[in-house]
A and B are shown apart, each in its own frame.
Chain A
Amino acid sequence: MTPIRRIESRVAVFSGENIDTDQIIPARFLTTTQREGLGQHCFADWRYDQEGKERPEFALHRPELRNAGVLLAGRNFGCGSSREHAPWALLDLGIQVVISTQIADIFRNNALKNGLLPIVVNAEQWQAIAGFETQTIAVDLERQQIELPDGQTIAFEVEGFARQCLLRGVDQLGYLLAESAAIDTFEKAA
């Protein structure tokens, strides 16, 4: 996994609440046996009409947001299924950071394991960021702060272990495998 330290990118705003995993990646695209290539189907039912043509009103279809890497989403983003296809699809689409006032547990967990940064802010901070829709903001994982174009900074929390893994680009399976002696001991005692 590539280490993440600082991301500078434009902000797209999806203000709807409870954006569920079936919206992020509809189930009919879960038939893949790979991780790659899901970006084209991300938010499929919002992005394309019934003939498969792009809907111009979809936020990420605005020319200035085609390469947006930061998604500012309404409360409870990523609720629903455990499908890791959701962060895979978002990353494949170019989204590197999701900011919301609440992020569903399993989605957050999955995102962290794939280098998609989930950040929870309060309602006031959410509004402040929304004021910079389409503009470039910085998300600094090392300093744990969001830097807005007007110089404001917003501090955020990331679980310490996951943060270290992201900063160093290490994956957690390696960490678990290194503990196999402890796992052996546990199994023998059980």
Chain B
Amino acid sequence: MNNTVATPRTLIDKIWDAHLVRAESADAPAILYIDLHLVHEVTSPQAFSELRGRGLKVRRPDRTLVTLDHSTPTLPAGTDGKLPYANAQTAQQVAQLEANCAEFGLELNGFGSGKRGVVHVMGPELGATQPGMTIVCGDSHTATHGAFGALAFGIGTTEVGHVLATQCLLQRRPKTMAVTVDGRLPAGVGAKDLILHIIGVLGVDGGTGHVIEYRGEAIRALSMEQRMTLCNMSIEAGARAGLVAPDQTTIDWLRGRPRVPQGEAFEAKAGEWLNLTSDTGARFNREIRIDAAQVAPTVTWGTNPGQVTAIDRAVPRAGDAQSERALAYMGFKGGHSLLGEKVDVVFIGSCTNGRLSDLREAADILRGRRIAAHVRMLVVPGSDQVKRQAEEEGLNEVFKAAGAEWREPGCSMCIAMNGDQVGPGQLAVSTSNRNFEGRQGPGARTVLASPATAAACALAGVIADPRSWGGMSDAA
């Protein structure tokens, strides 16, 4: 094209264009260069086998960040020094990744490194996640890294192999969607409530084929941790990814982290990063607006993350086969609010809400109180670093004094692969991201909620409104 005035572009398109090894054509997808590849034990073994079978190396070990999180125990090693794995296969999966890292020359942020954590908590806290990057991982919640203005999305194991071997992916350009959140969130309402609300508006497949840019006053007011919670669940609306343009909040959060440039080099980089925005007048394929003032503490009532309700509002009456099935599975009645439903398990953790600020939010409600006697509460920090910081602040003591279990970092009850499970028929209030049937164990029933709501439910022993337990009064 020979235009003298460049067409305004979205941030999504700018990042895309900057990573094209080859542009797409009618016959072939684009070859997209990947800046950072995150790897964990569940979706990588078959990819390493593929490389081994073909005699290939990992092209860029320096752009590959590896950790262990999904199948790892959250109880410490026993007196014999052995970790209490749920079964032989989970232990084998971890051993396999350790062996693969040794064989392919990859640094593993494993046990004893002090840096291990849920992959989407670890990448940002090390400063490996940076604005303008393309980031992938064999994990659908890779969208988390979009909080930094990166184009970050989940891939399958075959593609993990592609990135290991070539640092590239074959991709078609995604469609773009702007989700603008105007105004300010009310006191007592946080990022988790906001994203559940947004998924409720979009529906679980409303984002299919799109990458979302979250923008607007309410988004700018969010902390980095809150932006991560927000972007994390983009996939639950079917979107490939979600991102927030970098601003001073992003820069201040990144400064001094181990993997970012230091000193003057950082400030120079920061200047570049602040230019990463959608041009004025850039067109999105779809735009929606949300009024932040309308968002209340929000929970799910069904078996997908789009089945949401404000906590004090009635669950919709079953109108279709899908909601009927969901209500039957959950044992809830349409037309009533969930307040007062008996809770068996409370889980605080995951890549959605396992960061320090999430633990603080829960601890603020629990401090000096005891959880209901029949509730089992598990608090699982998102990473070694989160655990250390929480312990320095004494949050672990708050949780333990309240009657909760304080565990080692990992995915834990979010995916229930490591033995941390909700029992059949039990109702769990969980700060994770998926309430699918059986996600937290066969027959388990999951209500997704913010850390404040989860903590309030643990105290009350039933579904409870965090605002009546003094939760997040300054909406921080």
Is the beta-carbon distance between B304 and A18 smaller than 8 angstroms? yes
In angstroms, Cα B96 to Cα A12, docked, is 37
- Is A143 an interface position by the 8 A CB rule? no
Q: Which of B203-211, B217-225, B256-264, B266-274 contacts A (4 or more CB under 8 A)?
A: B203-211
- Is B474 an interface position by the 8 A CB rule? no
Knowing A18-B204, A105-B209, A105-B238, say if A26 contacts B442 (CB, 8 Å): yes
Q: What is the CB-to-nearest-CB distance from A27 to chain B, in angstroms, rounded to a whole number?
A: 5
Q: Which of B90, B240, B436 contacts A80 (CB 8 A)?
A: B436
Is the beta-carbon distance between A27 and B415 smaller than 8 angstroms? yes
- Is B50 an interface position by the 8 A CB rule? yes
Q: Which of B43, B162, B437 contacts A82 (CB 8 A)?
A: B43
**Mind listing 13 A-B residue pairs with CB under 8 Å?**
A17-B322, A27-B415, A27-B439, A33-B93, A79-B204, A84-B156, A84-B157, A104-B205, A109-B159, A160-B26, A183-B21, A183-B168, A187-B167
Knowing A79-B204, A186-B21, say if A22 contacts B93 (CB, 8 Å): no
Chain B residues within 8 Å of A82, by CB: 43, 138-140, 142, 154-156
Q: What is the CB-to-nearest-CB distance from A74 to chain B, in angstroms, rounded to a whole number?
A: 8
- Is B285 an interface position by the 8 A CB rule? no
Q: Which of A28, A45, A110, A186 contacts B33 (CB 8 A)?
A: A186
Chain A residues within 8 Å of B304, by CB: 18, 20, 79
Is the beta-carbon distance between B417 and A81 smaller than 8 angstroms? no
Knowing A27-B417, A82-B156, say if A179 contacts B162 (CB, 8 Å): no
Is the beta-carbon distance between B43 and A84 smaller than 8 angstroms? yes
Is the beta-carbon distance between B238 and A179 smaller than 8 angstroms? no
Contact mask for chain A residues 148-190; partner B; CB cutoff 8 A; 1 contact, 0 none: 0000000000011100100000001101110110110011001
Is the beta-carbon distance between B438 and A182 smaller than 8 angstroms? no
Q: What is the CB-to-nearest-CB distance from A121 to chain B, in angstroms, rounded to a whole number?
A: 15
Chain A residues within 8 Å of B15, by CB: none
Size class of the A contact interface (CB-based, 8 Å): 35 or more
In angstroms, Cα B392 to Cα A45, docked, is 42
Q: Which of A30, A76, A179, A190 contacts B22 (CB 8 A)?
A: A179
Given contacts A82-B142, A179-B168, 5 further A-B contacts (CB under 8 A): A32-B89, A82-B154, A106-B154, A110-B158, A183-B166
Contact mask for chain A residues 26-70; partner B; CB cutoff 8 A; 1 contact, 0 none: 111011111100000000010000100000000000000000000
In angstroms, Cα B408 to Cα A187, docked, is 39
In angstroms, Cα B171 to Cα A92, docked, is 26
In angstroms, Cα B154 to Cα A110, docked, is 11
Chain A residues within 8 Å of B52, by CB: none
Q: What is the CB-to-nearest-CB distance from B82 to chain A, in angstroms, rounded to a whole number?
A: 18
Q: What is the CB-to-nearest-CB distance from A60 to chain B, in angstroms, rounded to a whole number?
A: 18
Chain B residues within 8 Å of A23, by CB: 436-438
Closest B-chain residue to A22, C-beta based?
B436
Q: What is the CB-to-nearest-CB distance from B424 to chain A, in angstroms, rounded to a whole number?
A: 7
Is the beta-carbon distance between B439 and A18 smaller than 8 angstroms? no
- Is A114 an interface position by the 8 A CB rule? yes
Chain B residues within 8 Å of A104, by CB: 205, 208, 238
- Is B473 an interface position by the 8 A CB rule? no
- Is A10 an interface position by the 8 A CB rule? no
Q: What is the CB-to-nearest-CB distance from B3 to chain A, in angstroms, rounded to a whole number?
A: 24
Chain A residues within 8 Å of B140, by CB: 80-82, 106
Is the beta-carbon distance between A31 and B161 smaller than 8 angstroms? no
In angstroms, Cα B168 to Cα A15, docked, is 37
Knowing A23-B436, A161-B29, A161-B170, say if A105 contacts B322 (CB, 8 Å): no
- Is A6 an interface position by the 8 A CB rule? no
Is the beta-carbon distance between A177 and B165 smaller than 8 angstroms? yes
- Is B448 an interface position by the 8 A CB rule? no
- Is B202 an interface position by the 8 A CB rule? no
The A-contacting residues of B in range 141-161, CB under 8 angstroms, are 142, 154-159, 161
In angstroms, Cα B155 to Cα A79, docked, is 13
Is the beta-carbon distance between B165 and A176 smaller than 8 angstroms? yes
A-B pairs with the 6 shortest C-beta distances? A31-B89, A110-B156, A33-B45, A84-B156, A82-B154, A76-B205
Q: What is the CB-to-nearest-CB distance from B135 to chain A, in angstroms, rounded to a whole number?
A: 14
Task: Name which of B26, B155, B157, B415 has the most chain A CB atoms within 10 A of its CB.
Answer: B157
In angstroms, Cα B415 to Cα A173, docked, is 30
Knowing A20-B304, A83-B43, say if A33 contacts B92 (CB, 8 Å): yes
In angstroms, Cα B71 to Cα A61, docked, is 32
Is the beta-carbon distance between B204 and A76 smaller than 8 angstroms? yes
Chain B residues within 8 Å of A113, by CB: 156, 158-159
Contact mask for chain B residues 162-187; partner A; CB cutoff 8 A; 1 contact, 0 none: 10011110101000000000000000
In angstroms, Cα B330 to Cα A162, docked, is 40
Closest B-chain residue to A182, C-beta based?
B21
Closest A-chain residue to B439, C-beta based?
A22
Chain A residues within 8 Å of B42, by CB: 30-31, 83
Q: Which of A34, A106, A159 contacts B29 (CB 8 A)?
A: A159
